[in-house]
Amino acid sequence: MKKLIYILSGLLALQLVLAFTLNLEHHGIQGQSKPKALLALKDGDIDHISISNNDGKTIDLTRTEGKWRLSDQDEFPANQQQVAALLQQILTLKHAGAVADSDNAARRFKVANKTFERKVVLSQQNVDMATLYVGTSASMRETHIRLDGEAQVYLADLPVYRLPVTSKDWMQQDLLQVKTANIQALKIGDITLRRTDVSKSATADKDQAPAAIADNAKVQKMVDKLIDDNGNKQALTQVSGKSSDNSGWQLTPLPVNSRINFGKVNQALQQLASLRLSDLLGVEQKPNFGLDKPLLQVSVQRNKGDEVTYRLAQMTDSKDYVLKSSLSQEYFRLPQAQGDAFVAAFKPAAFSEPLVTATPKADTSNPPKPVQVAVIGKAGNAK
């Protein structure tokens, strides 16, 4: 029995020694100290950022003429704010002293040369200024980090999720957006939506096909009220889908007995104003893109006089869509739901709606008087 107690006591002592060692390694072999800067670099010292994972995937960001670009994606524009924020975070990293300084610890915390979560290389004119190995997370705001060429492992605020290695996570997703205020006209198939000054609508070209001026909702209400006040019993219904941008749009041609559907027009404009790109597909058109027979072609005339085109097709081997615009040499992938919504928003037939008339109400101002019927008895029945 005593032998068993000795054995258990020995195991307990060994566990305490291991726990103390690990605790010492985690909290710093140099003890607690005032936070120090990890790097002695400034923003102007860096023009290239390379981010890699342990599987060999790499993203390269290069600053050219003050703009960050994806150098491995034909210099496609990167998200400027995102890259600038990351660089600022790296350059201002601080640590409170090393938590380990052994090769075993580097491997365990995944900051070794061949075992890491991320490898970040900061360069200037092809000269490496600093290389960081980013590893496991110790807490929400602490990640193990080691500088290349040093044995010390530090804790600093640089989470791995801030270091993705796919181009879609760094690309400028709003590159193809066109603000509604900058759109002068839209052409989809045989129809044209054109912004026009209502005051000039009377002098519109008489040779054009039938069109309608999309006055604002207040004008329509005034017209309906005048009709009612003049005794016309057929009141026009109001347009559904009101918006702050309903005035000054002309639809050519406009179907007979129809008017512009303001709600659908605004949905189409919103698609262009909020368009976000999902992924890059390169600069070469491929057979599976389906753009030889696009589902949608839209031409946008901007206020400054230039024209922007959009072509959208569904991929032959996927339910996703391919988008090509004259604003970029790249082809882009759109998820199925986003592509479906884009195509639906630009259906020409949706931009007009029939002029619906309300059923006349019965005039109850002078109700007819009840008619009294006298009943006369037959002769001989009187008593």
pLDDT digits (tens, 9 = 90+) for 306-322: 999 999 999 999 999 99
Q: Which two tokens stand for residue 330?
A: 């790249």
- Reported as a pLDDT band with limits 50, 70 and 90, residue 34 is confident
Assigned token pair, 310: 């959009």
pLDDT score at 361? 64
SS3 232: coil
pLDDT of residue 248: 80
The predicted model gives 160-181 an average pLDDT of 96
**What integer pLDDT is reported at residue 2 of this predicted model?**
59
pLDDT digits (tens, 9 = 90+) for 234-263: 433 333 333 344 458 999 999 999 999 989
pLDDT score for 243: 38
Q: How far apart are CA 53 and CA 357, in angstroms?
A: 65
Average pLDDT of the residues in 94-102: 95
**pTM confidence score:** 0.72
Annotate 23-78 with DSSP letters as a single string.
Answer: HHHHH-TT-S---EES----GGG-SEEEEE-TTS-EEEEEEETTEEEETTTTTEEB
Instruction: Tell me the helices (H) and strands (E) count for the chain, helix number first.
Output: 6, 21
Q: Name the band, by pLDDT with cuts 50, 70 and 90, for residue 356.
A: confident
Please give the DSSP secondary-structure letter assigned to residue 309.
E
Phi, psi of 70 (to 5 degrees): -85, 95
The string of pLDDT tens digits covering residues 358-371 is 566 666 666 666 55
The whole-chain average pLDDT of the chain stands at 82
Residue 94, burial from CB neighbour count under 10 angstroms (0-12, 13-18, 19+): middle
> Lowest-pLDDT range, 111-125, 137-151, 162-176, 189-203?
189-203
The answer to whether the CB of 168 falls within 8 A of the CB of 278 is yes
> pLDDT-based confidence at 14, cuts 50/70/90?
low
Q: What is the 3-state secondary structure (H, E, C) of 134-152?
A: EEEEEECCEEEEEECCCCC
